Chains A and B, each alone.
Chain A
Amino acid sequence: MSIQRTEARVADRSVQLAPPLIQMQGIVKVYPPNVLALDDATVSFADGEIHALVGENGAGKSTLMKVLYGLVHHDRGEIRYRGRPVRFRSPGEAIAAGIGMVHQEILLINEYTVWENIVLGAEPVDRLGRIDRKRARGEVQAIIERFHFALDPDAIVADISVAARQKVEILKLLYRDVSVLILDEPTAVLTPQEIPQLFAELRELRNEGHTILFISHRLEEVLELAERVTVLRKGRVVATLPAAQTTRRDLAALMVGREVLFSSRRTPQASGDVVFAVEGLRYEDEHGRVRLKDVHLQVRAGELVGVAGVEGNGQLELVNAITGLLQPTAGTLRVAGVDLTRAPILERRRYIAYVPQDRGRMGGSLAASVVENAIMTHHRLNPRLTRWKGLLLDRKAAHHFTDELAQRFKVSMPARAAPLRALSGGNQQKVILGRELLLECPFILLDQPTRGLDVGSIEYVHDQMLAMRRAGRSLLMISANLEEIFLLADRIVVLHRGEIVADLPVEQATLEQIGRYMLEGKA
């Protein structure tokens, strides 16, 4: 009820606004064969505002922006820019008209320098077509200084931080003189300490007259930065609200279509015996660089431990050492009293359930059917699924098992035989999560279990994790989202350059303190 009232109120507001810079009217986009990504979406953006777009995964916010940017072509509807109807056939045309987009995944050439990346596609050249390096570098230096970005134009992109790479992406557009900047989840890759700087730089750009449209999952950020917020749900624009008069709860309700709880539902409980223990874990890569340094970590039964850290500080190596994808140089791994340090992967799988961060590559096979994805590993460990001493799969049992999984974990799928690719991200993750939890392992390892999922799916995954905690399993979660760790974990561990620099009960930790550990290590 309240949602519909808000929608009505918003419809009135949009009429009163001054003529907008960009007006998108009745945009329809169907991805073949029949996925309706945008369903008559109508929205307008004012000149010089910071405007946020929020919505669940698949709500159409990225698609809407890609339509504006000329990367995706809409099937119906009209775009008016500066009062004139436009239809960009390619991003190049959009950029020439002054509209630029920074994608979610950073698209830079790692082998090139900062200035080479910035001028790529718009290089100043002499008569022979030779790049005028001095001029190019000078122009890049000038915009870096004009917008107060701290960047070295001669640094190789592979050597600079993710936050710096994002700045390069933004500068690339500013170099091309765009006045409308579209940012797709710019904060997803940043640490909490880096976000205020990005926001300050974006405000600076706005003050210089730029219009900023940004997509985000993080509602508190949206409310902090944006002047207006547009909410999308299932391809439709359900509301555009002034940020000052909106709460996070309102936005979440509009996004999901129902109330969402944000408080921790973790209830205190006494933890049991140590189930998972690594001692003195050390790993040196083939170049002799130390990737894990004397890691000691224990997780008890009924305990959920969160691992925080800036990406690339040993999380991947820790996960691979536990799952058996790499052999540590030194140290031991024990789960439920069994020494697994040198155990083959199949043996480990009797004790370790594992939800990888990359659903499509490590977690499952996008091309394989839901059934095949559901029974992976089970087909080796569960005798019920095979016949003839494991030589043949029992198809009936596999189908039965898949149905059971789908029912228990509320997977919605077109058919059992459909490829995993046909499922939404949330449902893919449910298949993988379900498969792993059904292994009934005492220890559960989760690597970014909610990355890229929408609010509703995140809530579901969190519920399942907490249920496992209540059931006395021990859980280790690696997450780039500190809020998630604070919401779920009993203890928080910080990895910095392959070393555990903090191991605190969540009650004693603050967001700022953990952020400092992540960036600076042991102070």
Chain B
Amino acid sequence: MNILTGLLNGAISGATPILLAALGGAFTFYAGVFNIAMEGMMLMAAFCAVWGSFAFGSWLAGVLLAILGALALALIFIIFAVWLDTDEFVTGIALNLFTLGATTYLLRQSFGVKGVFAGPGIDPIPRLHLPLLADVPLLGAVLSGQNLMVYAAALATLISAFLVFRTSFGLRLRAAGYNAASLDSSGVSSARMRVYALLLCGVLCGLAGAFLSLGYVTLFSENMSAGRGWISLAAIILVNGNPWGVAIISLLFGFADVLGLLLQSYQVPSQFTAMTPYLATLAALYFYARRHRKERGYVNR
């Protein structure tokens, strides 16, 4: 395996959890929910995946539990931000911090370990070998033999784009974000669209978390989402939620991830490379804020 295919494979693995979470966040973005809870949903899912896989000895059970775990957080978000109308930002922060504490606590309670739980009892998500594609020169090494969840992410991108832009669900979803009052007056509840978006976000973040702890690696460590939820938020904001754009940005972030690992082998301190995701998030927020200032239309200066 040469360096290029290695880099590409690394970029794809790095991009997958970001892409899945960002697709989930894209639904809430379109629905007009300022949702920053992807980080927490992913972390909860990563823990539940390992727990399920270990307890039932099956990766499928792990994935299902991951989805349920992320959905539980989505449900809490719905109760607070949609039903009780609390501030979305504060709700999101609370959920993220709660999850960090809860998973760390549960890790110690369930497995009696600190920091990391790994072991042969955890059943990982299998890799998928595509018979025909594997034989294609150059591309074969990248397209075939990836983790099952990588293909799931590609499929999710396709389905998300179809849902958002082609279906009546998508028209209503985007309407909820553009002008909720207009959608309500059309006889469709915008609150309900926000609920659907958050539930979809829960499912996709569940898959993202499952990939983290059963695909990317086969272990759970404290705070293992490590800012990927925030990066997915940055990806969404940079491309206004467009699923195809989200896929491209996720790949770029994935690439930056691999590059960071590569740089570490050239004596660049790992603490420095660990900063890149957050710098990228800041950059994304800068563009977001600038666009909003323009939209607000304040003419002075």
Nearest-CB distance from A239 to chain B (Å)?
30
The answer to whether A285 touches B299 (Cβ under 8 A) is yes
User: Among residues 115 to 148 in chain A, which have CB atoms less than 8 Å away from a CB atom of chain B?
Assistant: 116-117, 120-123, 125, 128-131
The answer to whether A326 touches B299 (Cβ under 8 A) is yes
Quick one: CB contact mask for B172-197 with A, threshold 8 Å, 1 for yes?
10110011011111111100000000
The answer to whether B300 touches A325 (Cβ under 8 A) is yes
The answer to whether A120 touches B188 (Cβ under 8 A) is yes
CB within 8 A of B171: which of A90, A110, A116, A128?
A116
A71: nearest chain-B partner, CB-CB? B185
The answer to whether A112 touches B167 (Cβ under 8 A) is no
| Residues of chain A with a CB closer than 8 A to B188's CB | 92, 120-121
CB within 8 A of A111: which of B178, B294, B299, B300?
B178
Q: Does A108 contact B (CB under 8 A)?
A: yes
The answer to whether A125 touches B172 (Cβ under 8 A) is no
User: Among residues 31 to 75 in chain B, which have CB atoms less than 8 Å away from a CB atom of chain A?
Assistant: none
Q: How far is the CA of A503 from the CA of B169 in the complex (A)?
A: 52
| Residues of chain A with a CB closer than 8 A to B168's CB | 123, 125, 129, 131
The answer to whether B179 touches A110 (Cβ under 8 A) is yes
Q: How far is the CA of A520 from the CA of B143 in the complex (A)?
A: 62
CB within 8 A of A109: which of B179, B189, B300?
B179
| Residues of chain A with a CB closer than 8 A to B171's CB | 112, 116, 120, 123, 131
Q: How far is the CA of A110 from the CA of B187 in the complex (A)?
A: 18
Q: How far is the CA of A112 from the CA of B174 in the complex (A)?
A: 10
Q: Does B296 contact A (CB under 8 A)?
A: no
**Which bucket holds chain B's interface residue count?**
20 to 34
Q: Does A343 contact B (CB under 8 A)?
A: no
| Residues of chain B with a CB closer than 8 A to A103's CB | 185
Given contacts A112-B175, A120-B175, A325-B299, contact A125 B167 (CB under 8 A): yes
User: Among residues 71 to 95 in chain A, which have CB atoms less than 8 Å away from a CB atom of chain B?
Assistant: 90-92, 95
Q: Does B291 contact A (CB under 8 A)?
A: no
Q: Sample 13 A-B pairs with CB under 8 A, ordered by A number.
A: A90-B187, A92-B187, A101-B185, A108-B182, A109-B175, A110-B179, A112-B175, A117-B182, A120-B182, A121-B172, A121-B188, A122-B187, A325-B299
User: Among residues 372 to 418 in chain A, which have CB atoms less than 8 Å away from a CB atom of chain B?
Assistant: none
Q: Does A320 contact B (CB under 8 A)?
A: yes
Nearest-CB distance from B123 to chain A (Å)?
35
List A residues at the B interface (Cβ < 8 Å): 90-92, 95-96, 101, 103, 107-112, 116-117, 120-123, 125, 128-131, 172, 176, 285-286, 317, 320, 325-327
The answer to whether A91 touches B179 (Cβ under 8 A) is no
User: Among residues 259 to 301 in chain B, which have CB atoms less than 8 Å away from a CB atom of chain A?
Assistant: 294, 299-300
Which interface residue of B172, B179, B294 has the most chain A CB atoms within 10 A?
B179
A129: nearest chain-B partner, CB-CB? B167
Q: How far is the CA of A116 from the CA of B165 in the complex (A)?
A: 12
| Residues of chain A with a CB closer than 8 A to B175's CB | 109, 112, 120
Given contacts A120-B171, A123-B171, A125-B168, contact A326 B187 (CB under 8 A): no
CB within 8 A of B181: which of A90, A107, A121, A128?
A107
Q: How far is the CA of A73 from the CA of B167 in the complex (A)?
A: 33
| Residues of chain B with a CB closer than 8 A to A317's CB | 299
Q: How far is the CA of A107 from the CA of B300 in the complex (A)?
A: 29
Quick one: CB contact mask for B120-144 with A, threshold 8 Å, 1 for yes?
0000000000000000000000000
The answer to whether B300 touches A326 (Cβ under 8 A) is yes
Nearest-CB distance from A73 to chain B (Å)?
15
Nearest-CB distance from A231 to chain B (Å)?
27
| Residues of chain B with a CB closer than 8 A to A129's CB | 167-169
Given contacts A131-B168, A285-B299, contact A95 B178 (CB under 8 A): no
A133: nearest chain-B partner, CB-CB? B166
Q: How far is the CA of A116 from the CA of B171 in the complex (A)?
A: 8
Q: How far is the CA of A317 from the CA of B297 in the complex (A)?
A: 12
Q: How far is the CA of A375 from the CA of B175 in the complex (A)?
A: 42
Which interface residue of B171, B172, B183 has the most chain A CB atoms within 10 A?
B171
| Residues of chain B with a CB closer than 8 A to A107's CB | 179, 181-182, 185
Nearest-CB distance from B290 to chain A (Å)?
12
The answer to whether A327 touches B300 (Cβ under 8 A) is yes
Q: How far is the CA of A90 from the CA of B187 in the complex (A)?
A: 8
Q: How far is the CA of A117 from the CA of B166 in the complex (A)?
A: 15
Nearest-CB distance from A521 to chain B (Å)?
24
Q: How far is the CA of A92 from the CA of B187 in the complex (A)?
A: 4
Q: How far is the CA of A419 from the CA of B185 in the complex (A)?
A: 30
| Residues of chain A with a CB closer than 8 A to B178's CB | 109-112
